[in-house]
A and B are shown apart, each in its own frame.
Chain A
Amino acid sequence: MSDTIFPPRGLFNRATTGLKTDPIFFDVEAGRISFFAETLGEDDPVYHDRDDARAAGHPDVPAPPTFPCVVDLETSRIAKRMGRTPIYDLIGCDYTRLLHGEETYEYFGPIYAGDRVSFTTEVVGFEDKKGGALETARLRAEIRHARRGLLVAIERVLVHRLN
């Protein structure tokens, strides 16, 4: 018998389908928002100055639309420091083969500097694509605030190049 496994099983740990991480908390800081906005070339003063943000009607500096990715990646790092296995390690990401496929944010309420938010991720599932040349992982995550509830729902597709 041939010992070649076909079709290829991929690199993601597909046994993690359905797994949901425990919440990790993240304190949103004005300086981090400003730094993040700056790297995107965003010079709207509401992202850089509390007084300008308040003058525009915000209680504090608001997070720009793609800031949820910061909460995601930083809570992953916090998880590691807490001795937990970060979600990207759990699902078996190989960074030499990893690509970002899709990213979707649904907004239910704004994130502001000074907020303590929680982050959870759920592993939706895995798929083979292009005849096994690619495999995808679909994740769904939520950013919540203790009083204001769900702020952002995130859906992400990650891709492994398999050849």
Chain B
Amino acid sequence: MNDMDTDTDAGSDTCLALARPGDTLPEIHFGRISRATLTLYAGASGDHNLVHIDTDFAREAGLNDVFAQGMLSLGVLARVASSWGGADRIRRLSGRFMAITPVNADLTCSGEVAERLEIDGQPHVRVNLVAEIIAPDASRTRTIAGEAIIRTN
């Protein structure tokens, strides 16, 4: 092909080094969070809080139904940062939970480079991360406002 192709072997590293504010990270559309998803995540994570897995318990607690573990969405949101920058380059990851994610919600996670910065003499980027649930009418509700600091070299 052309000369550029040999350079793209470096792949994401090259993209990372050149990342600029406003660049978007590939979105991860997780899809519908079913009751099965909540149950499996409860087992895998060790979060056995019944409000996520037992509808009877949730109703007795005055809720309409079970709702998703916040950490399930933050785990998917972290994938946006790790699949783009590499998990071992993430220096810091944070999330503020803004709204409950009801069972059967359609989850999607995205990110955008906010700034380049230097930490301990090493180049990094700060990435804004957003988890959203998509309603049947396509309107979106933000459930997590997150951030990752990722080393770029």
Which residues does A use to contact B, with CB under 8 Å?
32, 35-36, 38-42, 44, 62, 64-66, 69-70, 72-74, 76-77, 95-107, 110
The one of A35, A69, A107 in contact with B90, judged by C-beta atoms closer than 8 angstroms, is A107
The one of A40, A76, A101 in contact with B75, judged by C-beta atoms closer than 8 angstroms, is A40
Which residues does B use to contact A, with CB under 8 Å?
28, 30, 37, 40-41, 43-51, 60-62, 69-72, 74-76, 78-79, 81-83, 87-88, 90-97, 100
- Which of chain A's residues have a CB closer than 8 A to the CB of B79? 40-42, 64
Number of inter-chain CB pairs below 8 Å: 106
> Do A35 and B43 touch across chains, with their CB atoms under 8 A apart?
yes
The one of B46, B93, B97 in contact with A77, judged by C-beta atoms closer than 8 angstroms, is B46
A-B pairs with lowest CB-CB distance, top 4: A73-B46, A96-B61, A104-B94, A100-B70
The one of A39, A62, A97, A99 in contact with B72, judged by C-beta atoms closer than 8 angstroms, is A39
> Do B62 and A96 touch across chains, with their CB atoms under 8 A apart?
yes
> Do B78 and A100 touch across chains, with their CB atoms under 8 A apart?
no
Give Cα distance in the complex from A128 to B98, angstroms: 18
> Do B44 and A62 touch across chains, with their CB atoms under 8 A apart?
no
- Which of chain B's residues have a CB closer than 8 A to the CB of A35? 43-44
> Do A64 and B87 touch across chains, with their CB atoms under 8 A apart?
yes
Quick one: closest B residue to A47, CB to CB?
B87
Give Cα distance in the complex from A69 to B51, angstroms: 18
> Do B40 and A39 touch across chains, with their CB atoms under 8 A apart?
yes
Give Cα distance in the complex from A126 to B25, angstroms: 36
Taking the nearest CB of chain B, how far is it from the CB of A21, in angstroms? Answer: 16
The one of B41, B51, B82 in contact with A95, judged by C-beta atoms closer than 8 angstroms, is B51
> Do B95 and A106 touch across chains, with their CB atoms under 8 A apart?
no
7 sampled A-B residue pairs with Cβ under 8 A: A44-B83, A66-B78, A69-B71, A96-B60, A100-B70, A103-B95, A107-B93
- Which of chain B's residues have a CB closer than 8 A to the CB of A40? 41, 72, 75-76, 79
The one of B70, B88, B92, B97 in contact with A105, judged by C-beta atoms closer than 8 angstroms, is B92
The one of A69, A99, A104 in contact with B92, judged by C-beta atoms closer than 8 angstroms, is A104
Quick one: closest B residue to A155, CB to CB?
B94
The one of A65, A73, A95, A101 in contact with B93, judged by C-beta atoms closer than 8 angstroms, is A65
The one of A36, A65, A95 in contact with B87, judged by C-beta atoms closer than 8 angstroms, is A65
- Which of chain A's residues have a CB closer than 8 A to the CB of B100? 99
- Which of chain A's residues have a CB closer than 8 A to the CB of B28? 41
Quick one: closest A residue to B76, CB to CB?
A40
